[in-house]
Chain A
Amino acid sequence: MEGRQENPIIELQDICKYFPGVKALDNANLQVYPGEVHALMGENGAGKSTLIKVIAGVHRIDSGTYKINGEDAKISCPADAKAKAISVIYQELNMISDLTVAENIFFGNYPKKGKGLVDWEKINADARKILQELDVDIDPMMKVGYLPVGKQQLVEIAKSLATNPKILIMDEPTSALSKKEIEHLYTIIGKLKAKGVAIIYVSHKLDEIYAVTDTITVMRDGKYIGTGKTCELDEPALIKMMVGHAVKNIEARESVKEGHIVLDVQGLNTDHVRDISFCIKEGEVVGFAGLMGAGRTELARGVIGADKKLSGKIYIEGKELPSNSVSKAKAAGIGLVPEDRKLSGIIAKESVGFNISIASLNQLKKGFVVSGELEREEIQKQVVNLGIKTSSDKIFVETLSGGNQQKVILARWLMKENLKVLIIDEPTRGIDIGAKAEIYKILDQLAQKGISIMLISSELPEIINLCDRVYVMNNGRIKGELNSDEDIITQEKVLHLAI
């Protein structure tokens, strides 16, 4: 760690940032040295994103000092930050899918030749060089839209490397990557480190933090909590810093013994899944594991009738479900909490209450009219039960944090009277640790109430600890079933089937 003797390349001291009604940053500090991978951790709403945006010039600070190489940074817009060789890879992909990989990499600063003509040969050649340096096998002439999400993420990384950054900020860079691609990312980070690039690494995933970072700074409620060497901070200590108190690991659930079969799927085929047969008993939590693209989300869509059924039968408590109608599946008692909250979960421009009651309006009717009183009551009940943190149920749902939005979608289904099967796709994606634990608790309570849960998750600890049984999928098919009664479900067993 020779970096330690140098001066920090980036130094933020007592940064405060106010937004209408909130203090987003409250004396935040951060010091990053060249050649260092510095983890920035904290729960959602801890101020990490705001701090990153301050560094990147998206937000201007209200007080405090921001220095680069010991001098006042003088960054007041993103272009300033770019000029100081700061590059940010945001969590959400910023790709234009109809442009090629090379065009995306150089988007915004195409090399030119002559008067305003784009030098296409140079773009493609340079892009190829950058991709080769990253050891990524992607054709630069390919349109980005045709690439799988993991590859797109790598292009995003290539794009930011094209600017030759000295300070590179990565915000949850692995959320779309497979295990192999994550390993690859680690190698890339190693190379950048050797070149003296300072990397700020934001992630919720502890295993990544321990695998790749040198130093950790923890934030909470916009405040600086502490900084330490990664090798000296163990997991419980780190979590304690993040949440302010120690959180236990995911507790393994009591397994259900015998219940009758509630959801029975026999030989289901859609355009995306093949020959799927499985069942879920009353009060059982059944996991669906597999790699990205294994067909789990598509299976969920097939079960509720959002994707066209080609053949097969689906029964709810012995009664056959009508084909291809989500509303009929809902009437029969199936609900889906989708993977992509923003795209297919919340109705962003409507209120929290609107989003909660939308699937249960028919039971809130008095005559032709939705009873406002009854509705408010029921919404309030859900808000309290699930601990949804919101100043009122009248505010736009998109102002809530990810975890609370997820609870809103859960509440939407819990409000339904005859809910029998709840399908939950990646329930804790992009959610902070505290909220995760709450979601697990809610799932457990639901199962105890007799609701059958189909849990789709890429986080193996979730699958292993929460599920009574696990189906592992690969390439649109169920590859195997693991039962916690018969033997212990381990990550190795799941992965063995998944690959």
Chain B
Amino acid sequence: MRKGIKKIFSYEQFSLVAVLIIMCILAAILAPVFLTGNNIMNVLRSSSLNLITSCGMVLILLLGEMDMSVGAIQGFIGVFSVMVLNATGSVFAAILFTIFVGAVLGLFNGLLVTKGGINSLIATLGTMSIFRGIAYVSTGGVSLQISNETFRILGAGNLGFLPVPLIIAVFIVFLFWFVLKKTVFGRYIYAIGGNTEASELAGIPVQKIKLTCFIISGVLAAFTALTLASRLNSGQPSAGDGFEFNVVSAVVLGGVSLNGGKGNISGAVLGVLILAVLSNILTLMNVSSFYQQIARGVVILIAVYLDERKRKSAEKKLLQAKIA
């Protein structure tokens, strides 16, 4: 028993789980509405978008790269997929189009980084602006209404009592947890993030893996866009504004290192949930969204600071053992 408890405490993400539980308890005390099924499902429904995109972001950050374009892809895909949907009337066509274009946008990011040798933060800041701009230009800034009832299911529907996007998100989370944990591809991602030069010399196809991850990130962001469009029942060129920051903060909060090579999907999931619960508490307590932004920033800074401290002390121990 005692051993079991010790194991729980030494679990890497123990502090994140603890924070999440404490926040839920606090929420239940401060705003009893929090614990109603309706509210919980709402929180999960809106976090499913972040969950899906954060899986791609984890891959990108593990490589030591960055993808700032995921928010803008939401605007871009939102507009064009809805155009396709309205033109064809086929949800299937819209999904196919979304995945294809998401892959192309991701590929474009990836090529800028691998072939172009541009720092990924800068490259994707550039494409972020371009994608968003194209979305605005193509609709003249107005949003496109959707007139397709089946399509509503994707973002707003329920399967039993579970929101459809949540089911999809859970599936994707497990898929990428598996990919990172068990497959060669996942192993290569950690290796590249840990030491790109050594990975290259060990015969790992570094460029190919990076390209693939950017494509995956693009596809996941695009799919999120479609889900969001379905939920909003419209394609909005401004959709997902600032979304990239939410995703990156959640993932970093979940212990994924910006330097690459460290972190995992379960951490990212916890990060997403913590931020979602935080904003839910504040909303339920009628705190203005302006204050919510401040609170979010403070939480992220504290979390990252604590993580950094933990890392430093671990490193110190290692160093001492090594000198010995």
- 8 Å CB interface, B271-324 against A: 317-318, 320-324
Q: Let me know if B200 is at the binding interface, CB within 8 A.
A: yes
Instruction: Assess whether B320 is in contact with A20, with CB atoms less than 8 Å apart.
Output: yes
Instruction: Assess whether A338 is in contact with B201, with CB atoms less than 8 Å apart.
Output: yes
Q: In the docked arrangement, what's the CA distance between A326 and B192, Å?
A: 14
- Given contacts A327-B205, A330-B203, A347-B199, are A362 and B184 in contact (CB under 8 A)? yes
Binary per-residue interface labels of chain A (294-325) against chain B in the complex, 1 for a CB within 8 Å, 0 otherwise: 00000000001010000000000000000001
- Given contacts A19-B323, A20-B317, A22-B324, are A344 and B262 in contact (CB under 8 A)? no
- Given contacts A398-B318, A399-B318, are A369 and B183 in contact (CB under 8 A)? yes
Residues of B within 8 A of A446 (CB): none
Residues of B within 8 A of A327 (CB): 203-205
Instruction: Assess whether A49 is in contact with B323, with CB atoms less than 8 Å apart.
Output: yes
Q: In the docked arrangement, what's the CA distance between A335 and B198, Å?
A: 12
- 8 Å CB interface, A334-365 against B: 335-336, 338, 343-350, 354, 358-359, 361-362, 365
Q: In the docked arrangement, what's the CA distance between A375 and B190, Å?
A: 17
Binary per-residue interface labels of chain B (190-221) against chain A in the complex, 1 for a CB within 8 Å, 0 otherwise: 11001101111111110000000000000000
Closest-CB distance, A353 to chain B (whole angstroms): 11
Number of interface residues, chain A, beta carbon within 8 A: 42
Instruction: Assess whether A19 is in contact with B318, with CB atoms less than 8 Å apart.
Output: no
Binary per-residue interface labels of chain B (116-160) against chain A in the complex, 1 for a CB within 8 Å, 0 otherwise: 000000000000000000000000000000000000000000000
Instruction: Assess whether B197 is in contact with A344, with CB atoms less than 8 Å apart.
Output: yes
Instruction: Assess whether A346 is in contact with B318, with CB atoms less than 8 Å apart.
Output: no
Instruction: Assess whether A24 is in contact with B324, with CB atoms less than 8 Å apart.
Output: yes
CB contacts between A and B, total, < 8 Å = 95
- Given contacts A344-B198, A348-B194, A348-B195, are A19 and B324 in contact (CB under 8 A)? yes
Most chain A CB inside 10 Å of its own CB: which residue of B197, B201, B204, B323: B201
Q: In the docked arrangement, what's the CA distance between A412 and B318, Å?
A: 23
Closest-CB distance, B177 to chain A (whole angstroms): 13
Q: Let me know if A37 is at the binding interface, CB within 8 A.
A: no
Residues of B within 8 A of A79 (CB): none
Instruction: Assess whether B187 is in contact with A361, with CB atoms less than 8 Å apart.
Output: yes
- Given contacts A19-B321, A399-B321, are A370 and B203 in contact (CB under 8 A)? no
Residues of B within 8 A of A365 (CB): 184
Closest-CB distance, A391 to chain B (whole angstroms): 11
Q: Let me know if B261 is at the binding interface, CB within 8 A.
A: yes
6 contacts between A and B (CB under 8 A): A20-B317, A325-B205, A344-B197, A346-B195, A347-B261, A369-B182
Other A-B pairs, 16, CB within 8 Å; known A358-B188, A358-B199, A361-B187: A21-B321, A22-B324, A53-B323, A306-B201, A338-B198, A338-B201, A343-B198, A347-B190, A347-B191, A349-B261, A349-B262, A350-B194, A358-B204, A359-B203, A361-B188, A365-B184
* Contacts from B to A (Cβ < 8 Å): 182-184, 187-188, 190-191, 194-195, 197-205, 261-262, 317-318, 320-324
4 smallest A-B Cβ distances: which pairs? A330-B203, A24-B324, A19-B324, A347-B194
